């Protein structure tokens, strides 16, 4: 059963409340949101295995705190799309602004276009695939998970990174503190191949480079004290 919500007629609050009120076993498994008009906080905090299609641009924090749902944005997304996502799948058919996938613990975020600064900031297990380029400070303080960029990466990539994996097909700017290029071993090609397949991307993993933590910030050095 498909339920259609027109945000020129209904309010964002009414939409989100209806999504939050869904029981665990619901036959309202497909939702279409029309005329989003770039409104903020659309389809946030969903905790049900449903599909939500947003027909247009979304504002800040769309699909934030997502759990179980599959959310597709047929347009661009503002700051913090899929922020703090726990599971499920969020697919942006356009570009994404800053902090896409910030602090997200799980699930899969796909961005067909480019992502701005701080993509994957403080990510904690999410998998992010950006088919375009990513901006500066991406994967800043990334703790775990995987960030893939088919395009270029801006400056300060992976600054203060922990154990997340970064794969970039294009060029990279300066690397952030404690981030370094690492060899692509067989297990990394396998990890990347599986993720690209899940995201529907047909690219040869041989053209990607891997980045991660040099592990020099894990221990205290007196020379760094001031």
pLDDT of residue 146: 98
Query: 193: helix, coil or strand?
Result: helix
Whether 109 shows a pLDDT value over 90: the answer reads yes
User: Which residues sit opposite 211 in a β-bridge?
Assistant: 166, 181
Q: What pLDDT is attached to residue 107? A: 98
The mean pLDDT of 189-195, rounded to a whole number, is: 98
Question: Which tokens hold the place of 189?
Answer: 């090609």
Domain range for 40 = 2-224
pLDDT of 1: 72
What six digits make up the tokens of 146? 């995987």
In the predicted model, what is the mean pLDDT of residues 162-186?
A: 97
| pLDDT over 70, % of the chain | 96
Q: Which pLDDT belongs to residue 167?
A: 98
Please, are residues 123 and 145 in contact by the beta-carbon 8 Å criterion?
yes
Contacts of 204 (CB under 8 A, 6+ apart): none
As a whole number, mean pLDDT of residues 77-98 equals 98
* 225, pLDDT greater than 70: no
> Does 226 score more than 60 pLDDT?
no
pLDDT for 187 equals 97
pTM: 0.95
Terminal Cα distance for the chain, rounded? 62
Q: How many CB atoms lie within 10 A of CB 219?
A: 6
The mean per-residue pLDDT over the stretch 202-226 comes to 82
Domain count, the chain: 1
- Written as six digits, the tokens of 104 are 């997200």
CATH number at residue 173: 2.160.20.60
Closest C-alpha to 53, from 43, 64, 66, 65: 43
Q: Which distant-in-sequence residues (6+ apart) come within 8 Å of 226 by Cβ?
A: none
Q: How far apart are CA 151 and CA 131, in angstroms?
A: 7
**How many Cβ atoms from other residues are within 10 Å of residue 42's Cβ?**
29
């Amino acid at each position: 059963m498909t339920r259609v919500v027109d945000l020129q007629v209904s309010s964002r609050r009414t939409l989100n409340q209806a999504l939050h009120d869904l029981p665990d076993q619901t036959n309202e498994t497909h939702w279409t949101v029309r005329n989003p008009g770039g409104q903020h906080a659309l389809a946030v905090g969903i905790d049900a295995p449903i599909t939500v299609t947003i027909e247009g641009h979304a504002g800040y924090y769309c699909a934030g705190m997502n759990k179980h749902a599959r959310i597709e944005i047929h347009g661009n997304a503002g700051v913090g799309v899929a922020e703090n996502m726990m599971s499920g799948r969020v697919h942006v058919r356009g570009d994404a602004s800053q902090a896409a996938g910030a602090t997200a613990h799980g699930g899969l975020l796909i961005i067909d276009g480019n992502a701005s600064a701080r993509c994957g900031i403080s990510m904690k297990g999410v998998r992010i695939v950006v088919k375009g380029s990513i901006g500066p400070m991406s994967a800043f303080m990334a703790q775990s998970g995987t960030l893939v960029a088919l395009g270029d990466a801006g400056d300060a990539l992976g600054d203060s990174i922990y154990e997340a994996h970064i794969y970039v097909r294009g060029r990279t700017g300066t690397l952030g503190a404690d981030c370094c290029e690492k060899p692509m071993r067989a297990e990394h090609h396998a990890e990347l191949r599986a993720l690209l397949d899940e995201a529907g991307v047909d690219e040869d993993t041989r053209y990607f480079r891997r980045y991660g933590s040099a592990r020099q910030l894990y221990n205290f050095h007196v020379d760094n004290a001031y």
